[in-house]
A and B are shown apart, each in its own frame.
Chain A
Amino acid sequence: MKSKTRSDFKKVLPLYVFSALFVLIPMLYALFLSFMTRTNTWAVDYTFTFDNYRELVKPIYLSTFADSFKLAVTVTLVDIIIGYPAGLFMARLPDHQRNFFFAALTFPFWINSIVRIASIIVLLRTYTTILYSYEAVVITMVYALLPFMIYSVYSAATKLDQSALEAARMLGASKGRAFLDITLPQTAKGLLSGVTLTFIPSMCLIYISDLLGGGKFILAGNLIENQLMKTHNLPLAAAISVVLMLLTGAVILICNRLEPVARRRRHAQ
């Protein structure tokens, strides 16, 4: 039935057109722009150049990227240390408690993030002296991203093979041994997806560094913001985005690669 197939294509056509026009083309245009020449303020001259990428190798950009990377690593590590056990523990709770905490963890996402951050600012200002410091940025970032880590680990841990764990313990494996051989490999996938969900936003949540760092701490994302909103250098902003995008892709790729490695460990035993 040819006409039926065609009418089905009509149904997906709006999505095809919209995705092409407003997702694919803007991204490709930005990529194209990163190789163009900036003339003055907003203006762009369409002559090909590598200058924007050459600009990024300058120490000022390299050090910002390095600092942003370091902050993202710190935030991710703290979130793993706090969130990994929380996810595992949550999966072990009885059903009704599990559901309660799951709902409790997702609920804050429905409240405006800036409003929640405003409250943190006030708390830090009133009860501590660390507002507008590196620590303040890290703490707020950890707070904002922790639920993602807990959620990722939790959903992997609910599928954990409890009988294998009990068998291992019964056969005399120590708690540490059972954790390394069974729990860790089986929850590696959740842990790694938690890492991507915390690491990448840690370089991009520009309002946290803006509001809590007092403008002293610049994330990779802030570089893009500054080029767009202050200097109006569109090609350079596009080039920074391309680099950030590649970095994001690399993180996802590494996490995907690590997962089978963690899994294989278990079978090698």
Chain B
Amino acid sequence: MKKKSRFPLIYVAIITAILYVPIVVAVIFSFNDSRLYTTWGGFSLRWYEILFKDENIFKALLNSVLVGVTSCILSAVIATAAALGFRKKQPAEEIVKPISMIPIMVPEIILGMAFLVFFRFLNLPFGFITLVLAHMTFCIPYIYLQVSTRVASLDIAPTEAARMLGAGPFKAFFTITLPDLLPSILSGMFIAFAMSFDDVIISMFVVGPRFNTLPIKIYTQVKTGITPEINALCTLMLLVTVICLGASRLVKKNKAQN
């Protein structure tokens, strides 16, 4: 046998490394005392200090978390109930399912446009409500996709036994079905939250004059001029991401051990 070429490994490694250049640069320069990207002015946390003192960023962050959490919780309820309901054949199922998937299929700009004109038509106040409604449209399919695969392999015998022994439908759901589905609901919610937290295009069209999200705030800031504060923000987001991914990995692992 010919010795296996190392070329594939090297090629893939180089491409991956290139994709990480912007991130690595941002992390390194977030600790750079100098404002310039060409010189190293020594280690410093001054950009983090400036970032923490920036009230607008903080407010936008809070708004983003609020929108993300609210959309995720409401979407999780709708998506989980639907995934359970679709175990039986439902009327107009083959029409409603694709419609509910539209928001993760069509370009975001088209969705954003549709929400803007429709919410204006309804005369809804632009801000929290419009953001949550718009984000829910794409959070629901992400959570549904995760939960429905789990529901398909769900054992219904314990639920039926509990119901026969006199447990009410809610008790049966909370003691048997929910614990079984929880890991898939949570992993769906993690994905949905990340999508909501990162959304620029749809949010752009539904934010209110007094209600900004973090990505929109960063976007307007980057448009006017980039300061190393952005690097500090990138590094912090990286940290939060690592923690979140670690947590979701842990949830899955615990489930596997049970």
- Decide whether A and B are members of one complex: yes
Tell me whether A206 and B109 are in contact (CB under 8 A).
yes
Interface residues of B in 124-151 (CB under 8 A from A): 133-134, 136-137, 140, 144
Tell me whether A147 and B19 are in contact (CB under 8 A).
yes
Tell me whether A23 and B226 are in contact (CB under 8 A).
no
Tell me whether B88 and A5 are in contact (CB under 8 A).
yes
Assembly CA distance A207 to B201 (angstroms): 8
B68 is an interface residue with CB less than 8 A from chain A: no
B218 is an interface residue with CB less than 8 A from chain A: yes
Tell me whether A241 and B136 are in contact (CB under 8 A).
no
Taking A9-B85, A30-B117, A119-B23 as contacts, is the C-beta distance between A23 and B102 under 8 angstroms? Answer: yes
A130 is an interface residue with CB less than 8 A from chain B: no
In the complex, what residues of A have CB within 8 A of residue B25's CB? Answer: 119, 122-123
Tell me whether B16 and A112 are in contact (CB under 8 A).
no
Assembly CA distance A115 to B201 (angstroms): 14
Assembly CA distance A162 to B96 (angstroms): 40
Interface string of B1-38 (1 = CB under 8 A from A): 00000011101110110011111011001000000011
In the complex, what residues of A have CB within 8 A of residue B231's CB? Answer: 119
In the complex, what residues of A have CB within 8 A of residue B22's CB? Answer: 116-117, 119-120, 123, 143
Surface stretch bound by A, among B47-55, B181-189, B237-245, B250-258: B237-245
The residue on B at minimum CB distance from A203 is B107
B233 is an interface residue with CB less than 8 A from chain A: yes
Interface residues of B in 53-89 (CB under 8 A from A): 77-79, 81-82, 84-88
Q: Which one of B77, B117, B230 contacts A234 once the chains associate, using CB atoms below 8 Å?
A: B117
Tell me whether A241 and B82 are in contact (CB under 8 A).
no
In the complex, what residues of B have CB within 8 A of residue A113's CB? Answer: 198, 200, 215
B100 is an interface residue with CB less than 8 A from chain A: yes
A225 is an interface residue with CB less than 8 A from chain B: yes
The residue on B at minimum CB distance from A207 is B200
* Interface of A: prevailing SS: helix
In the complex, what residues of A have CB within 8 A of residue B205's CB? Answer: 228-229
B121 is an interface residue with CB less than 8 A from chain A: yes
In the complex, what residues of A have CB within 8 A of residue B161's CB? Answer: none
Assembly CA distance A113 to B201 (angstroms): 11
In the complex, what residues of B have CB within 8 A of residue A245's CB? Answer: 106-107, 110
Q: Which one of A12, A15, A120 contacts B140 once the chains associate, using CB atoms below 8 Å?
A: A15
Interface residues of A in 73-110 (CB under 8 A from B): 82, 85-86, 88-90, 92-93, 97, 101, 104-105, 107-110
- For the complex formed, measure the closest distance between the CB of B256 and the CB atoms of chain A, giving whole angstroms: 16
Tell me whether B107 and A200 are in contact (CB under 8 A).
yes
Interface residues of A in 17-45 (CB under 8 A from B): 18-20, 22-27, 29-30, 33, 42
Tell me whether A26 and B118 are in contact (CB under 8 A).
yes
Interface string of A115-156 (1 = CB under 8 A from B): 111111111001000000000000000010011001000000
- For the complex formed, measure the closest distance between the CB of B204 and the CB atoms of chain A, giving whole angstroms: 8
Q: Which one of A18, A89, A110, A201 contacts B136 once the chains associate, using CB atoms below 8 Å?
A: A18
Taking A15-B100, A112-B198, A204-B201 as contacts, is the C-beta distance between A237 and B11 under 8 angstroms? Answer: no
- For the complex formed, measure the closest distance between the CB of B90 and the CB atoms of chain A, giving whole angstroms: 5
Tell me whether B200 and A114 are in contact (CB under 8 A).
yes
Q: Which one of B12, B115, B116, B234 contacts A90 once the chains associate, using CB atoms below 8 Å?
A: B12
In the complex, what residues of A have CB within 8 A of residue B23's CB? Answer: 108, 111, 116, 119
- For the complex formed, measure the closest distance between the CB of B10 and the CB atoms of chain A, giving whole angstroms: 9
The residue on B at minimum CB distance from A140 is B22
Q: Which one of A23, A25, A228 contacts B116 once the chains associate, using CB atoms below 8 Å?
A: A228
Assembly CA distance A120 to B113 (angstroms): 28
- For the complex formed, measure the closest distance between the CB of B169 and the CB atoms of chain A, giving whole angstroms: 7
Subset of 10 A-B contacts with CB under 8 Å: A11-B81, A15-B78, A25-B118, A86-B12, A86-B15, A110-B241, A110-B244, A118-B222, A123-B21, A241-B114
Q: A: which residues have CB within 8 A of B?
A: 5, 7-16, 18-20, 22-27, 29-30, 33, 42, 82, 85-86, 88-90, 92-93, 97, 101, 104-105, 107-123, 126, 143, 146-147, 150, 200-201, 203-207, 210-211, 221, 224-225, 228-229, 234, 237-238, 241, 244-245, 248
Q: A8-B85, A115-B234 are in contact. List 13 more A-B contacts (CB 8 A).
A: A8-B84, A9-B91, A18-B78, A89-B9, A105-B16, A111-B234, A116-B26, A119-B22, A119-B230, A123-B22, A225-B204, A228-B116, A244-B109
Q: 4 shortest A-B CB distances, which residue pairs?
A: A11-B85, A89-B8, A12-B85, A119-B22
